């Protein structure tokens, strides 16, 4: 369904976290060190409360680290506002403005003031079509299903054309069939745009399906990284095996 073309050309950026430190008021310090190669897809796993969302929020610029650096390719984005980082993020839900149509929500990915050129409008329409929402551009998010709303959020990512995409449990509220469709779509988008992807998931099947690499976080630190298959097999580090319970066996 998707093809890379002139307007949506392949790209991805290396992502590096260097001694990135952050502490919530009254919490203990989290510290992240990570390097992701351009266009890799990385699954981020770990127990509830371990810091997965916090790490993504730091990368996106929604939280500020107390020290350390975030590099996207060789650009230091640590102190840049979110919209200047080249990072898109999709959450579990509430990715769309309820009072704006699908078209407008997607258009925001190109212009925050929705001043769109003819070319922008064309790209918005193409993106909406690519995620399978043709004919639904005039709808408000409230009249879409949960899966369709997540598709609209992906269409916005397409027009943003950022080299890094962060997915914070984007499939968690979807049933199994819809989840599969979304995974297919994410794979297709990745083939077309080659963005570097970090995806938080609690489901080892999602990790296996999409991500070559896996990062395991515990208590605010990355305690294991490696190839997804290897880490998910028996013999994974103790903390990861414990977290996975019986689910690690292929």
Ligand X SMILES: Nc1ncnc2c1ncn2[C@@H]1O[C@H](COP(=O)(O)OP(=O)(O)OP(=O)(O)O)[C@@H](O)[C@H]1O
33-62 mask for ligand X (x: CB under 6 A)?
A: -------------x-xxxxxxx--------
Angstrom distance (rounded) from CA 212 to CA 227: 6
Cross-strand bridge partners of residue 221: 31, 218
CB 181 within 8 A of CB 133: no
Angstrom distance (rounded) from CA 214 to CA 211: 7
Indicate the residue among 46 and 65 with the shorter CB distance to ligand X: 46
- Give rounded-to-5 percent helix, strand, coil for the chain: 35, 20, 40
User: How many residues at the interface with ligand X, by CB under 6 A?
Assistant: 10
Beta carbon of residue 199, minimum distance to ligand X (angstroms, whole number): 12
Indicate the residue among 174 and 192 with the shorter CB distance to ligand X: 174
Tokens of 103: 């078209």
Q: Does 161 bind ligand X (CB under 6 A)?
A: no
Question: Could you identify the residue written with the tokens 């102190």?
Answer: 79
> Among residues 10, 27, 138, 146, which is the contact residue for ligand X, using CB under 6 A?
27
Other Cβ atoms less than 10 A from the Cβ of 198: the count is: 26
202-221 mask for ligand X (x: CB under 6 A)?
A: --------------------
Q: Residue numbers of the site for ligand X (CB under 6 A)?
A: 24, 27, 46, 48-54
């Amino acid at each position: 369904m998707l093809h890379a073309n002139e307007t949506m050309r392949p790209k991805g950026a290396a992502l590096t976290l260097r001694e990135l430190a952050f502490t919530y008021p009254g919490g203990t310090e989290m510290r992240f060190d990570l390097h992701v190669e351009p266009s890799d897809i990385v699954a981020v796993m770990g127990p509830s409360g371990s810091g997965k969302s916090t790490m993504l929020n730091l990368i996106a610029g929604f939280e500020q680290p107390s020290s350390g650096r975030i590099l996207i390719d060789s650009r230091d984005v640590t102190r840049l506002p979110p919209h200047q980082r080249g990072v898109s993020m999709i959450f579990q839900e509430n990715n769309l403005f309820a009072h704006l149509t699908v078209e407008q929500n997607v258009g925001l990915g190109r212009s925050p003031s929705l001043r769109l050129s003819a070319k922008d409008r064309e790209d918005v329409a193409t993106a909406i079509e690519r995620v399978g929402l043709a004919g639904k551009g005039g709808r408000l998010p409230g009249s879409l299903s949960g899966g369709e709303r997540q598709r609209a959020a992906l269409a916005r990512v397409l027009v943003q054309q950022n080299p890094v995409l962060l997915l914070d449990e984007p499939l968690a509220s979807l049933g199994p069939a819809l989840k599969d469709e979304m995974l297919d779509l994410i794979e297709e988008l990745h083939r077309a745009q080659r963005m570097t992807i970090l995806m938080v998931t609690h489901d080892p099947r999602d990790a296996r399906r999409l991500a070559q690499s896996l990062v395991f976080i515990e208590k605010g630190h990355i305690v294991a990284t490696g190839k997804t298959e290897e880490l998910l097999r028996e013999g994974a580090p103790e903390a990861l095996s414990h977290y996975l319970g019986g689910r690690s066996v292929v």
